[in-house]
Chain A
């Protein structure tokens, strides 16, 4: 009788389904003969079976009910089938539309025509530092008077027909010009126009990221408006877009009415302190030193004090200051 109640119950259910072997049946017989618990289960089974017909809504469905259900089911099934047939082409059309829209979006994102930089320069350039390039532009003047380039110690114009845009086109989508100042730089009574050119890196996702001022332009008065006479452009690029920019652009008085153009070029903070002088025909670089900051003073002539952080070999960086004095042509180190 080594049979648990649960196992005996299982064997009993098997016997109801006619799946009991002779051996199992004998086993169950022996168990049931002595186990009152399992006898009660069997009795319960018979009671339930006897009363089962009275359980639930037992009223047998009429023939009419069945006919109605057949008709309704057939109609509903037909409607579903029709809807399914209709839906398939609609789904296909919607799917195709979405696919086309996605394709167009992808094309627009990846193959959007890039804007070339708006400036095309003519003229010549001489690199003044390994990281920047100076471009002296003598654009054809509409006035009959030719402008003859004069030799300066730092600038030797060499004719060159065209220059390719210096900023990589794919990543510089837009350039934007802005008038920085209209000022008389060389005491000739005419106001030159200083223009800054900002470059914007176009994101692939129609977002525009400003890259700062990448070009300085000098325009001189012409018969109609202004014409470009000089341009200085950062060329250093990183990962395909300009990494350097002009900042802290200022005008520094020189004498009674002349103005020097000062600016840092490079990455913040610090960079190359550059000072430009316009003599009416040529723009020359009168100072180009690496600096973190600078001050000017006019005591015994114009002095530019350049500060540079010296962090070599000491716990705390200190500002090393160097003076450069104006000698009438350029700034030279004050020995």
Chain B
């Protein structure tokens, strides 16, 4: 459990869950992380902002369900991921509606939105482009692990699944990435492979 979680837990022990001080503390501590998480899942800064705000609203309304002393970060990330999934579902509905309304040709000719172009431009990495090609299930697992540095246990908690499933998803994701990028990755020395030895 990180120090932020400890702070929130301390606050929750002393204050009622309706206390505005908790909202303030929670947002100040986790805004950046949740915004980044939403952005890395949704690729849209506006949607990410909305999703971040929704995450905090949901968190506040469900705060009485949180068990004080447990991993607050994982709890909050779980809400964020679920909120982002809701946005993705909405987007898919919009896109499928668009597909009906416009021809496939018109869609193909349509340039990506400036917002998305900028975001994609920031991800110059071919490797992370390959991550984008993964299914949402695998991509979100990889993002939580590699971008947000969550432990396997935390990811399992966030995705409301078993640790074995997380290992399996990660392995599948890495396997697919290797297949996609076969021969394009420069193998580094593995002499210092273990982060513990660093």
Contact = CB atoms under 8 A, between A and B. Distances in A.
Q: How large is the interface on A (under 10, 10 to 19, 20 to 34, 35 or more residues)?
A: 35 or more
B interface SS class: helix
Nearest to A28: B194
B131 A58 contact: no
Interface of A: 6, 9-10, 12-18, 20, 25, 32, 39-49, 51-61, 65-66, 69-70, 72-74, 76-77, 80-81
Given A9-B171, A16-B195, A57-B45, A43 B124 contact: no
Contact of A15 (B44, B174, B195): B195
A14 B125 CA distance: 26
B27 A73 contact: yes
Contacts of A45: 146, 174
B35 A39 contact: no
A51 B128 contact: yes
B26 to A, nearest CB: 9
B77 to A, nearest CB: 14
A4 to B, nearest CB: 10
Contact of A14 (B49, B60, B128, B152): B152
A53 to B, nearest CB: 8
Interface residues of B, number: 55
Contact of B122 (A17, A49, A54, A80): A54
Interface in B136-179: 142-143, 146-147, 151-153, 167, 170-171, 174, 177-178
Nearest to A49: B146
Given A9-B170, A10-B167, A81-B18, A55 B61 contact: no
Contacts of A12: 193-194
Contacts of B119: 56-57
B40 A44 contact: no
Q: Which interface residue of B53, B124, B147, B185 has the most chain A CB atoms within 10 A?
A: B147
Contacts of B190: 32, 39, 42-43
A73 B53 contact: yes
B151 A17 contact: yes
Q: What are the nearest 6 A-B pairs in CB distance? A: A56-B40, A57-B39, A43-B187, A56-B39, A51-B125, A17-B151
A77 to B, nearest CB: 5
